[in-house]
Structure 1
Amino acid sequence: MSATDGAGVSGTDGARRARKTPKPLRTPKPLKAPKAPAKVSKAGRNLPAAIVVGVILVAALLAALLFFPFGIVAIATVFAAVGVWEVSRALEVRGIKVPMVPVLVGTVALPFAAYFGGSESLAFALVATVVAILLWRTIDTAEDAVRSVLAGIFVVLWVPFLLSFAMLLLGEPGGQVRVAILLLLVVSNDTFGYLVGALFGKHPMAPKISPKKSWEGFAGSAAGATVVGIVAALFFLDQPWWFGLVLAVATVAAATAGDFSESMIKRELGVKDMSNLLPGHGGIMDRLDSIVFASPVVFLISALLIPGA
C-alpha cells in the first residue's frame, strides 16, 4: 500500500469520526438526602420508640388497675411467662437448658395463687413447682440434670415468684391503689434516674456491671421517687409523710438492685438485651428487672407499717 493510499484511508476514517455527533452529557440524578437516624439515647436506645412504648405500657397497666383489676393478674402472668422464656433462651446460649414445661406451669400458677389464695397459696405453689421441676428432670434423664434443675428453680424464683408479691399486694384492701403506687415509684425511679444521669452523670456506680449508671442518676431516682412517695402517702394512703419517704427510698434501692442483678447476668451470659420485643427497651425482662425486686419490698413495708394491712 502506498503512502497516498494510507493517507486516504486515514482521511476517510477521520472524516467518519468527525461526522459522528457526540452524545450529549447526561445530567446526573440529584442525590437523595440521607434519612436522619433515629434519635438514640446515651444508653444506646431508640429514644422516641422507648418513650412511646413506655407510655403505652404504663397507661395500659393503670387502666387495667382502675377498671379491671383481675386483668392485672393476667397481664402479670403473660409478662412473667415471656420473661421466663427470655431468660431461659439466654441461659441456653451457655448450654444451660431450663425445663420449660414445669417452669411455665409454675409461672402461670404462682400469680393466680397469690391473688386468690394469699401468701400461703403462693408458698404452696412455689413448693409444688420446685417438686415438679425435680420430677421432670428425674423422668427426663437429660444430661446436666443438676444444673438444669438449679437453673429452673432460679428462673422461677427470679421472675414469677418475686412478681407474685405485687399480686399479694393487689389482693389486699386498697390493693389497686398500692399497686398503682408501686408502678409509679418504679417509673419515677427509672425516669428521673435516666434524665439526671444523662444530663449530669459523671461518676459510675458499678462500671464493671453497668457503666452507664451513675451516682448522679441514682440521686435523681431517689429525689423523684421521694416526691411521688410522699404525695402518695399523704393523699392516697392516708399515711404520714415519712412513710412515703421510707417507701420511696426502699423502692429505689430495690429497683436499683434488680437493675444491677439483671445487668450482671446479661454480662455473664454475653447478651446486651434479653430480647428485642419492646422497641427502645429491649426485652420484657429489661422492664421487669426493677419491678420484680421492688414488689416484695413494697408489699412487706405496707404489711409492717400500714395498720390493718
Structure 2
Amino acid sequence: MSETLTRSISGILYIIILIGMTIYGEFTFELLFSIFLLIGAFEFSKLIKLPKAFCLGVSAITIGLIYLPNIQLPGNIIALFAISVLLALMVEIFSKRKPNRSLFIKLIIFLGYIIAPFLTLILLPKVTGTYNSQIIIIMFVLIWTNDTFAYVVGKKFGKHKLLERISPKKTIEGFLGGIFFSILAGLILSYCFTTFSPVVYICSAIFVGIFGTIGDLVESHFKREAKVKDSGSIMPGHGGILDRLDSAIFVAPFLYIIFQIL
C-alpha cells in the first residue's frame, strides 16, 4: 500500500471517529479526548524527556476530575493558565536562543501545553452551559480549512518563508491564505450554525489561522529538539496524536475565552 493511500485512509478514519463520537454525545466525546490526552501526554513525555509514569498519572487524575459528579472545573482559570504558557512558548520559538529548561520548567510546560489545553478542549463544547457538539465541529472545520488552504496557497504562491529554521515549508503567503479561507469558512458556518453571531465566527477564524499555525510551529520546535520526525506512530502516515491535534490544543483555550466574552 502506497504512503499516500495509507495516509488518506488513516486521515478519513480519524475524521469519521472524531466527528462521529463528538456528535453522538457528551460521554463519547469526553471518552475520545480523554484517550487522546493520555496518548498525547505519553508522546510529549518522550519529546521533552519527562517521566512517562508521572505524565500518564497526572493525565489520569485530570480525566478523573472530569467524570467526578458535582465538580465544576474553573474553565476560565484553566484556559488563562494555558494561554500564558502557550504565549511563552510562542515567544520561545521566535527567539534564536537555545532553551535551557530545568525540571520545574518542563513540568510547567507539560501542565500548560498538554494538561490545561486538553482539559479546555474537553470543556469547550459546554462553554454555553450545556453540551453542544457544534462548537467542536466548528473549531475543527476552521482548523482543517486553515491547514488545507495554507498548504495550497503556500505551494502555489509561497515565496517568503514564515519561520524557516523550524518549518521550512511554511510561507507567509500560505499563512495569510489560510486565514483568508478560514474567515470565508467561518462566514459559511455562521449561516449553517446559529449558535453564535457572525462576529464570533470571524474572530474564531482569525484566531484559528494565527494560533493554529503557531501551535504547529511549537510542536515542530519540540520535535526538532528531540530530533524526531513525528511525535508518535499511532496514525499511519500522519504520526502521533500531537501531530494531529497540535493546532487544536493551541487554539482551544483562546476560543474558550472568546466564546465567554463574545
TM range (shorter): 0.7 to 0.9
**SS of corresponding position for 1:211:** strand
- In 2, Cα distance between equivalents of 1:287 and 1:82: 12
Equivalent residue in structure 1 for 2:116, among 152, 161, 166: 161
Show the counterpart of 1:120: 74
- In 1, Cα distance between equivalents of 2:61 and 2:249: 17
Taking the TM superposition and a 5 Å limit, the aligned residue runs for 1:127-276 are 147-171=102-126, 172-173=129-130, 175-276=132-233
**SS of corresponding position for 1:282:** coil
* Structure with larger RCO (C-alpha < 8 A, sep 6+): 2
Q: CA deviation at 1:283?
A: 1.5
Give runs of ≥4 in structure 1 deviating > 6 Å: 121-124
- Whether contact under 8 Å (2:216, 2:246) holds in the other structure is yes
- In 1, Cα distance between equivalents of 2:53 and 2:36: 17
Residues 266, 186 of structure 1: CA spacing in aligned structure 2 closer, same or farther, 3 A cutoff? same
Which letter maps to 2:74?
E
Q: What percentage of aligned pairs have identical amino acids?
A: 27
Q: CA deviation at 1:121?
A: 7.7
Q: CA deviation at 1:174?
A: 5.1
Cα deviations by residue, 1:209-265 (Å, 9 ceiling, x for unpaired): 111111222122112211221122233135443322111001111111111111112
**SS of corresponding position for 2:239:** coil
- Whether contact under 8 Å (1:166, 1:296) holds in the other structure is yes
Q: CA deviation at 1:111?
A: 4.7
- In 2, Cα distance between equivalents of 1:230 and 1:87: 35
Which letter maps to 2:28?
G
Instruction: Note if 1:104 corresponds to 2:92.
Output: no
Which letter maps to 1:67?
Y
- In 2, Cα distance between equivalents of 1:225 and 1:244: 9
Looking at CA atoms only, which structure, 1 or 2, has the larger radius of gyration? 1
- In 2, Cα distance between equivalents of 1:114 and 1:184: 25
Which letter maps to 2:225?
E
- Whether contact under 8 Å (2:182, 2:205) holds in the other structure is yes
Residues 110, 175 of structure 1: CA spacing in aligned structure 2 closer, same or farther, 3 A cutoff? farther
User: What value does the CA root-mean-square deviation take over the aligned residues?
Assistant: 2.6
Instruction: Return 5+ residue gaps in structure 2 as ranges.
Output: 82-100
TM-score, normalised relative to structure 2: 0.80
**SS of corresponding position for 1:119:** coil
- In 1, Cα distance between equivalents of 2:157 and 2:104: 44
Instruction: Note if 1:304 corresponds to 2:248.
Output: no
TM-score, normalised relative to structure 1: 0.69
